[in-house]
Protein backbone atom coordinates (compact mmCIF):
# COMPACT_ATOMS: atom_id res chain seq x y z
CA UNK A 1 0.00 0.00 0.00
CA UNK A 2 1.25 3.47 -0.86
CA UNK A 3 1.30 6.18 1.80
CA UNK A 4 0.38 9.49 0.16
CA UNK A 5 2.08 11.63 2.75
CA UNK A 6 2.28 14.94 0.91
CA UNK A 7 0.72 17.98 2.60
CA UNK A 8 1.92 20.73 0.24
CA UNK A 9 0.08 20.73 -3.09
CA UNK A 10 2.98 22.50 -4.82
CA UNK A 11 5.03 19.29 -4.61
CA UNK A 12 2.61 17.37 -6.86
CA UNK A 13 1.43 17.43 -10.45
CA UNK A 14 -1.59 19.58 -11.25
CA UNK A 15 -3.67 16.54 -12.26
CA UNK A 16 -3.02 14.91 -8.88
CA UNK A 17 -4.03 18.06 -7.00
CA UNK A 18 -7.19 18.51 -9.08
CA UNK A 19 -8.37 14.97 -8.37
CA UNK A 20 -7.46 15.27 -4.72
CA UNK A 21 -9.63 18.37 -4.31
CA UNK A 22 -12.47 16.81 -6.26
CA UNK A 23 -12.38 13.76 -3.95
CA UNK A 24 -12.22 15.93 -0.83
CA UNK A 25 -15.07 18.16 -2.02
CA UNK A 26 -17.29 15.18 -2.84
CA UNK A 27 -16.61 13.44 0.48
CA UNK A 28 -17.17 16.60 2.51
CA UNK A 29 -20.53 17.11 0.77
CA UNK A 30 -21.51 13.45 1.10
CA UNK A 31 -21.68 12.89 -2.66
CA UNK A 32 -20.74 9.24 -2.43
CA UNK A 33 -21.36 8.27 -6.05
CA UNK A 34 -18.86 10.93 -7.08
CA UNK A 35 -16.42 9.79 -4.38
CA UNK A 36 -16.38 6.28 -5.82
CA UNK A 37 -16.10 7.66 -9.35
CA UNK A 38 -13.00 9.63 -8.41
CA UNK A 39 -11.50 6.71 -6.49
CA UNK A 40 -11.64 4.64 -9.66
CA UNK A 41 -9.27 7.12 -11.35
CA UNK A 42 -5.47 7.10 -11.13
CA UNK A 43 -3.41 9.16 -8.66
CA UNK A 44 -6.09 9.07 -5.99
CA UNK A 45 -5.97 7.22 -2.68
CA UNK A 46 -8.95 6.28 -0.54
CA UNK A 47 -6.86 7.30 2.48
CA UNK A 48 -5.97 10.75 1.15
CA UNK A 49 -6.90 13.94 2.99
CA UNK A 50 -7.37 17.32 1.33
CA UNK A 51 -4.04 18.80 0.24
CA UNK A 52 -3.53 21.96 2.25
CA UNK A 53 -6.40 21.03 4.58
CA UNK A 54 -6.27 21.26 8.35
CA UNK A 55 -8.36 18.27 9.53
CA UNK A 56 -6.66 15.43 7.61
CA UNK A 57 -10.09 13.85 7.14
CA UNK A 58 -10.07 10.97 4.66
CA UNK A 59 -13.27 9.90 2.87
CA UNK A 60 -13.82 7.37 5.68
CA UNK A 61 -13.64 10.13 8.30
CA UNK A 62 -16.18 12.11 6.25
CA UNK A 63 -18.46 9.09 5.96
CA UNK A 64 -18.35 8.75 9.75
CA UNK A 65 -19.11 12.47 10.15
CA UNK A 66 -22.12 12.32 7.83
CA UNK A 67 -23.42 9.02 9.16
CA UNK A 68 -23.27 7.53 5.68
CA UNK A 69 -24.95 4.23 4.90
CA UNK A 70 -23.31 0.95 5.77
CA UNK A 71 -22.98 0.21 2.06
CA UNK A 72 -20.97 3.41 1.51
CA UNK A 73 -18.62 2.53 4.36
CA UNK A 74 -18.31 -1.01 3.03
CA UNK A 75 -17.37 0.38 -0.39
CA UNK A 76 -14.63 2.52 1.13
CA UNK A 77 -13.29 -0.37 3.19
CA UNK A 78 -13.26 -2.62 0.13
CA UNK A 79 -11.09 -0.01 -1.61
CA UNK A 80 -8.55 -0.09 1.22
CA UNK A 81 -9.76 2.62 3.61
CA UNK A 82 -7.87 2.32 6.90
CA UNK A 83 -10.01 2.27 10.04
CA UNK A 84 -6.90 2.94 12.14
CA UNK A 85 -5.95 6.12 10.23
CA UNK A 86 -6.03 9.11 12.62
CA UNK A 87 -7.11 12.59 11.64
CA UNK A 88 -4.90 15.52 12.59
CA UNK A 89 -6.38 15.61 16.09
CA UNK A 90 -5.89 11.85 16.52
CA UNK A 91 -9.46 10.67 15.89
CA UNK A 92 -10.30 7.58 13.90
CA UNK A 93 -13.47 7.29 11.82
CA UNK A 94 -14.90 5.20 14.67
CA UNK A 95 -14.24 8.01 17.16
CA UNK A 96 -16.02 10.48 14.89
CA UNK A 97 -19.05 8.25 14.30
CA UNK A 98 -19.41 7.67 18.03
CA UNK A 99 -19.15 11.37 18.88
CA UNK A 100 -21.75 12.18 16.21
CA UNK A 101 -24.16 9.51 17.44
CA UNK A 102 -24.04 7.38 14.27
CA UNK A 103 -24.42 4.10 16.10
CA UNK A 104 -25.15 2.08 12.96
CA UNK A 105 -21.51 2.50 11.86
CA UNK A 106 -19.70 1.63 15.07
CA UNK A 107 -19.25 -2.08 14.42
CA UNK A 108 -18.07 -1.51 10.85
CA UNK A 109 -15.61 1.19 11.79
CA UNK A 110 -14.19 -0.35 14.97
CA UNK A 111 -10.41 -0.72 14.54
CA UNK A 112 -9.24 -4.25 15.23
CA UNK A 113 -6.95 -4.75 18.21
CA UNK A 114 -3.63 -5.85 16.73
CA UNK A 115 -1.86 -5.78 20.09
CA UNK A 116 0.68 -3.13 19.11
CA UNK A 117 -0.08 -0.89 22.07
CA UNK A 118 0.09 2.90 22.32
CA UNK A 119 3.47 3.11 24.02
CA UNK A 120 5.20 0.80 21.55
CA UNK A 121 3.55 2.52 18.59
CA UNK A 122 4.70 5.92 19.88
CA UNK A 123 8.26 4.64 20.29
CA UNK A 124 8.25 3.17 16.77
CA UNK A 125 6.82 6.44 15.38
CA UNK A 126 9.71 8.33 16.96
CA UNK A 127 12.26 5.88 15.55
CA UNK A 128 10.73 5.99 12.08
CA UNK A 129 10.71 9.79 12.12
CA UNK A 130 14.40 9.81 13.05
CA UNK A 131 15.24 7.55 10.10
CA UNK A 132 13.24 9.63 7.63
CA UNK A 133 14.61 12.88 9.02
CA UNK A 134 18.12 11.50 8.78
CA UNK A 135 17.75 11.11 5.04
CA UNK A 136 15.75 14.23 4.24
CA UNK A 137 17.29 16.87 6.49
CA UNK A 138 20.89 16.63 5.29
CA UNK A 139 22.47 20.05 4.51
CA UNK A 140 21.59 21.02 0.95
CA UNK A 141 19.29 18.02 0.70
CA UNK A 142 15.67 17.27 -0.05
CA UNK A 143 14.11 19.14 2.88
CA UNK A 144 15.89 22.36 1.95
CA UNK A 145 14.73 22.05 -1.66
CA UNK A 146 11.10 22.35 -0.52
CA UNK A 147 11.65 25.92 0.62
CA UNK A 148 9.50 25.57 3.74
CA UNK A 149 9.54 23.54 6.97
CA UNK A 150 9.44 19.81 6.31
CA UNK A 151 6.50 19.31 8.67
CA UNK A 152 4.44 21.60 6.42
CA UNK A 153 5.29 19.48 3.39
CA UNK A 154 5.10 15.85 4.52
CA UNK A 155 3.14 13.71 6.93
CA UNK A 156 5.05 10.61 7.98
CA UNK A 157 3.03 7.38 8.15
CA UNK A 158 1.78 6.57 11.67
CA UNK A 159 2.80 3.08 12.74
CA UNK A 160 -0.72 2.28 14.00
CA UNK A 161 -1.94 1.84 10.40
CA UNK A 162 0.65 -0.80 9.48
CA UNK A 163 -1.08 -3.85 11.00
CA UNK A 164 -4.13 -3.08 8.84
CA UNK A 165 -2.14 -2.76 5.60
CA UNK A 166 -1.71 -5.69 3.18
CA UNK A 167 1.32 -7.69 4.34
CA UNK A 168 1.72 -4.98 7.01
CA UNK A 169 3.80 -2.89 4.59
CA UNK A 170 3.76 0.67 3.24
CA UNK A 171 5.68 2.46 0.50
CA UNK A 172 6.28 6.15 1.17
CA UNK A 173 7.44 7.90 -2.03
CA UNK A 174 8.97 11.28 -1.24
CA UNK A 175 8.82 14.12 -3.81
CA UNK A 176 12.28 15.15 -5.13
CA UNK A 177 13.89 12.11 -3.48
CA UNK A 178 13.57 9.90 -6.57
CA UNK A 179 12.94 7.08 -4.16
CA UNK A 180 11.47 6.72 -0.72
CA UNK A 181 10.92 4.41 2.22
CA UNK A 182 9.70 0.81 2.31
CA UNK A 183 8.28 0.29 5.80
CA UNK A 184 7.31 -3.13 7.16
CA UNK A 185 5.98 -4.16 10.55
CA UNK A 186 7.76 -7.38 11.47
CA UNK A 187 6.34 -9.97 13.88
CA UNK A 188 3.88 -7.34 15.02
CA UNK A 189 6.37 -5.40 17.13
CA UNK A 190 9.33 -3.92 15.21
CA UNK A 191 9.97 -2.15 11.90
CA UNK A 192 12.25 -3.00 9.01
CA UNK A 193 12.79 0.09 6.85
CA UNK A 194 14.63 0.25 3.54
CA UNK A 195 15.25 3.57 1.79
CA UNK A 196 17.09 4.69 -1.31
CA UNK A 197 17.59 7.47 -3.84
CA UNK A 198 17.51 6.03 -7.36
CA UNK A 199 19.71 8.73 -8.89
CA UNK A 200 22.46 8.23 -6.28
CA UNK A 201 24.48 5.05 -6.56
CA UNK A 202 24.78 2.77 -3.51
CA UNK A 203 22.35 4.99 -1.62
CA UNK A 204 20.34 2.17 -0.07
CA UNK A 205 20.04 1.91 3.69
CA UNK A 206 18.20 -0.59 5.87
CA UNK A 207 17.23 0.07 9.47
CA UNK A 208 15.65 -2.02 12.18
CA UNK A 209 13.52 0.04 14.55
CA UNK A 210 12.38 -1.32 17.90
CA UNK A 211 10.82 0.39 20.89
CA UNK A 212 14.36 0.64 22.28
CA UNK A 213 16.01 2.39 19.34
CA UNK A 214 17.23 2.39 15.73
CA UNK A 215 19.97 0.24 14.19
CA UNK A 216 21.48 0.58 10.71
CA UNK A 217 21.78 -3.02 9.49
CA UNK A 218 22.73 -2.61 5.82
CA UNK A 219 23.80 0.07 3.36
CA UNK A 220 25.26 0.59 -0.09
CA UNK A 221 22.63 -1.26 -2.10
CA UNK A 222 20.51 0.01 -5.01
- Provide the residue ranges of all domains of the chain, joining segments of one domain with +: 9-109, 118-219
Whether residue 36 has pLDDT greater than 90: yes
Average pLDDT taken over every residue of the chain: 96
Over range 35-55, report the average pLDDT.
95
In the prediction, which pLDDT does 140 show? 86
In the prediction, which pLDDT does 60 show? 98
In the prediction, which pLDDT does 141 show? 87
* Residue 5's pLDDT band (cuts 50, 70, 90): very high
Give domain 9-109's CATH number out of 1.20.120.1200, 1.20.810.10, 3.40.640.10, 1.25.40.20. Answer: 1.25.40.20
Whether residue 43 has pLDDT greater than 90: no
Hey, how many other C-beta atoms are within 10 angstroms of the C-beta on 123? 17
- Give the Cα separation of 10 and 8 in Å (integer): 5
Helix ranges (H only) for the chain are 14-29, 32-39, 59-66, 70-78, 93-100, 106-109, 118-136, 142-146, 150-153
Q: Edge to edge, what strands does the sheet with 205-210 contain?
A: 169-174, 179-186, 190-197, 205-210, 213-219
In the prediction, which pLDDT does 188 show? 93
Q: Helix, strand or coil for residue 126?
A: helix
Query: pLDDT of 123-178, one tens digit each?
Result: 999 999 999 999 999 988 899 999 999 999 999 999 999 999 999 999 999 999 99
* Residue 90's pLDDT band (cuts 50, 70, 90): very high
In the prediction, which pLDDT does 155 show? 98
Nearest to 65 by CA among 25, 27, 24, 35: 27
Over range 57-71, report the average pLDDT.
98
* Residue 2's pLDDT band (cuts 50, 70, 90): very high
pTM of the entire predicted model: 0.95
Query: pLDDT of 204-213, one tens digit each?
Result: 999 999 999 9
Query: pLDDT of 180-217, one tens digit each?
Result: 999 999 999 999 999 999 999 999 999 999 999 999 99
Whether residue 113 has pLDDT greater than 90: no
In the prediction, which pLDDT does 102 show? 98
Whether residue 45 has pLDDT greater than 90: yes
Over range 90-104, report the average pLDDT.
98
Amino acid sequence: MSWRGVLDASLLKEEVVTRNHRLADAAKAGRWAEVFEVLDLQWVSVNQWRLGGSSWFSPLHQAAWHGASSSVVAGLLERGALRTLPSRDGRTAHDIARSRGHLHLLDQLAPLDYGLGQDRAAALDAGLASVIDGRLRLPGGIAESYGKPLEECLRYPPVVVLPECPEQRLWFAVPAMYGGFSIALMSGHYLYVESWIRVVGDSGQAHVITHEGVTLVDEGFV
